[in-house]
Amino acid sequence: MDLLELLKYIALGLIQGITEPLPISSSGHMVILDAIFGEVVPSSAMNNFQIVVNFASLLAIIFFYRKMLSELIIGSKDYIFKKDESAKPKFKYLLYVLIATIPAGIAGLIIKLLDLDKYITNIVVVGICLFITGMLLLYIHRITKDANREEVTLKDSLLMGGAQVIGLLPGISRSGVTSSFGVSNRLSLLSALRFSFMMYIPASLGALLIGAIDIFKDGLSGGSIPGYIGAFFASLFGTYFAINLFFKLVKNKNLKYFGFYCLIVSSIVLILVIVGVF
């Protein structure tokens, strides 16, 4: 492959990495950038490419939350096997994360089995869904001052788990839509976002497992191995940088700017669709 093609792969991986933890839809930005590049990753290989770069993002998020994950796992083990009542909150939190993962897991499996991706993964859907994401983020910004509950409940788990199904649409921010449901139930924004990222881990692991079966069966056909490697590391470092930056911005209540960004990008995409550029 030539240098320009390699740089395009790396750019796709970097966009995936940076946008994965941000509430602006990584899948939507991947579709937009691929359209701009003129389908640098063949459509037959896009699913495998997304598995590779999503795996890199998953590793970065696990590393970022390594301390919290360790506490949840050890606490749950102590509660189950040692009957340590002080560890019960850790067990409940982990249980709620697993419960919240179920709806998106079922929906994702149905989408894959019925091959529904081809109907929803297009630039028009992305433009519309980015508009919805932008409005959701502005809604969160408006109501977050009234949301100050820190403890996640079963109701939060069910609401945010159901919302994660909507987040499967390209252009809908998974963290944005799940957090909006949590905040609307008076869960604080930081608690809602933290729970949203915890939900992402088992959901992404499940998607990775299903996708790995295809990769082992078909191989990385249609794509470039150097391109995959470059995109993987770009996504890995991009995700870790972005998640650190994101929580600093959230603490300063700058979430509304992500909403304005999504509305602007949505408008540009839909105008370009109307004039025939896309």
* Per-domain residue ranges of the chain: 3-274
Q: Residue 272: what residue type?
A: L
For residues 103 and 168, what is the distance between their CA atoms, to the nearest angstrom?
11
Question: Model-level pTM?
Answer: 0.89
- Whether the CB-CB separation of 200 and 174 falls below 8 Å is answered with yes
Q: What are phi and psi of 234, to 5 degrees?
A: -65, -40
Predicted confidence at residue 210, as pLDDT, reads 73
Buried b (16+ CB within 10 A) or exposed e, 10-33: bbbbbbbbbbbbbbbbbbbbbbbb
Is a pLDDT exceeding 90 seen at residue 208?
no
Tell me, what's the pLDDT at 4? 83
Percent of the chain with pLDDT over 90: 57
Sequence-distant (≥ 6) Cβ neighbours of residue 44 within 8 angstroms:
221, 222
Neighbours of 138 (CB within 10 A): 16
Q: What is the rounded CA–CA span in Å between residue 147 and residue 161?
A: 19
Three-state DSSP class for residue 150: coil
Q: Which is higher by pLDDT, 86 or 43?
A: 86
Say yes or no to pLDDT of 220 above 60: no
CA-atom Rg of the chain in angstroms: 19
